[in-house]
Amino acid sequence: MKIVVLTKAAVPLSSAIRIDPKTGTLIREGVPLTVNIWDRDAVEFALRLKDRYGGEVIALSMAPPSGIPALESLIGMGVDRAILASDRAFAGADTWATAHVLAKTIEKYIPDYDLVVAGEETIDSTTAHIGAQTASWLGVPYIYYVYDAEVKGRTLVVRRFLEDEGVDEVYEVDMPAVISVLKGSQIPREVRLSRKLNAREYIQVVSNKELGLDPECVGLRGSPTLVAGMAPATYPPRKKVVIQGEPSEVVKKLVEILKSEGVV
C-alpha cells in the first residue's frame, strides 16, 4: 500500500501566540513549527496500516523551509520519506490554494498512491477543509473522522465516530481515497533518535519550478478568499464584582447571587 500522509508544520498549541500590532499578522520568529498535534494521529494511523499490509508511508507538507524539522520528526516516527512543497509563491494560500498544491504534488510525485491520510484539523487554522478539498482536486471519494480501517481488495473498510451524534459508522470506500483521522484516536509512537539523525536524507524539497503550477493559482494570488481585515477580538463587558474573604462568607454571597438570579 502506498500511503500519503498530509501533515502541517503548525504553530504549536503550547506557544503563546503573538500578533504584530501593525500588520495584524502572526509573529513567527522564534516560534519553532512543529507537526500539527492532530496530524500525529494521522501518521500513526498510516504507519499501522503499513505494519499490517506492507508498503510505504510518505509524508507531504506545504510549508516554508522552517517546516523541515517537523518532517524530520516524522521520519523519526517511522515514515519512509517526506516531500516538502515549498516556494515563496505558495505563501499566503487559503485552503483552496493549499489543497491545489498538495494534490498536484501527489499527482506528479506519487501518482500510484492508494490512500491519502489527513488529520482531522489543524490546531492553528481549524478549518478541516484540506482533506475534502484534496479529495475534490484528486477526484476521489473521501471520508472523515476515521479511527480504524481494514483493506479488502481495492476497498477500504473504515470505522468512524461522529462525536456530535454519538454514532459509530462503518463505510466501504473505493481506493484510491482520502480519509481524515479522528483526533485523539491513536497513540502516536515515539520518535526514535537513531532514525532522526540522518532524517534530512529522506526529505525531498520541491518548488514550483518542478511543479510548474500557474503562479496565479497558488499562494495569496491563487486564493479565492481574501483576508480583508483583522481586529483584536473584544468581549462584552462583565460586572467584574470581586468576592473574597472567609469561605463561609463567600459561599453566603454566592447563594444570594444564585437566589437573585432565580437559579435556586
Partner 1 sequence: MPCRLWPPINKEDYRGVWVYLEREGDRLKDVGLELLGKARDLAQKLGGVEVAGVLVAGGEDLAREAIYHGADKVVIIDNPDLKIYTPAEYAEAIARVVQKYRPEIFLIGATKRGRELAAYIANTLATGITADCTALEIDPKTRDLLQIRPTFGGTQLATIRTPQRRPQMASVRPGVFPKPPRDPSRTGEIIVEKVEITKRRTRLVSIEKRLEKDIADLPPVESSDIVVAGGRGLGTAEGFKLLVELAKLLNGTVGASLMAVRAGWVPHTRQIGQTGKTIRPKLYIAVGISGAIQHLMGITEAKMIIAINPDPHAPIMENADYAVVGDYKQIIPMLIEELKRLKNQS
Ligand X SMILES: Nc1ncnc2c1ncn2[C@@H]1O[C@H](COP(=O)(O)O)[C@@H](O)[C@H]1O
Ligand Y SMILES: Cc1cc2nc3c(=O)[nH]c(=O)nc-3n(C[C@H](O)[C@H](O)[C@H](O)COP(=O)(O)OP(=O)(O)OC[C@H]3O[C@@H](n4cnc5c(N)ncnc54)[C@H](O)[C@@H]3O)c2cc1C
Best CA proximity match to 35, nearest among 3, 80, 66: 66
Three cell numbers written together for 146: 476515521
Q: Choose among ligand Y, partner 1, ligand X, none what residue 6 binds, the Cβ cut-off being 5 to 8 Å by kind.
A: ligand X
Question: In the complex, what is the shortest distance from the CB of residue 110 to ligand Y, in angstroms, rounded to a whole number?
Answer: 30
Residues that bind ligand X (CB under 6 A): 6-8, 36, 38-39, 42, 60-63, 95, 98, 102, 118-119, 121-122, 125-131
Q: Which is it for strands 56-62 and 203-206: parallel, antiparallel or unpaired?
A: unpaired
Q: Choose among ligand X, partner 1, ligand Y, none what residue 115 binds, the Cβ cut-off being 5 to 8 Å by kind.
A: none
- Give whole-number Cα distances, 165 to 40, 50, 160, 161, 202, in Å: 25, 31, 12, 9, 42
Q: Choose among ligand Y, ligand X, partner 1, none what residue 122 binds, the Cβ cut-off being 5 to 8 Å by kind.
A: ligand X
Question: In the complex, what is the shortest distance from the CB of residue 191 to partner 1, in angstroms, rounded to a whole number?
Answer: 20
Does 243 participate in binding ligand Y (rule CB under 6 A)?
A: no
Best CA proximity match to 191, nearest among 54, 45, 46, 71: 71
Q: Choose among ligand X, ligand Y, partner 1, none what residue 171 binds, the Cβ cut-off being 5 to 8 Å by kind.
A: partner 1
Q: Choose among partner 1, ligand X, ligand Y, none what residue 135 binds, the Cβ cut-off being 5 to 8 Å by kind.
A: partner 1
Q: Which residue is nearest to ligand X (CB)?
A: 119
- Report yes or no: 119 and 180 within 8 Å, Cβ to Cβ: yes
User: Phi/psi at 23 (nearest 5 deg)?
Assistant: -100, -15
DSSP 8-state class, residue 67: G
Q: Does the N-terminal peptide bond of residue 176 adopt cis geometry, omega within 30 degrees of 0?
A: yes
Instruction: Name which of 175 and 205 has its Cβ closer to partner 1.
Output: 175
Helix (H) or strand (E) holding 235: none
Does 123 participate in binding ligand Y (rule CB under 6 A)?
A: yes
Question: In the complex, what is the shortest distance from the CB of residue 171 to partner 1, in angstroms, rounded to a whole number?
Answer: 6
Question: In the complex, what is the shortest distance from the CB of residue 250 to ligand Y, in angstroms, rounded to a whole number?
Answer: 12
Q: What residues line the site for ligand Y (CB under 6 A)?
A: 13, 123-124
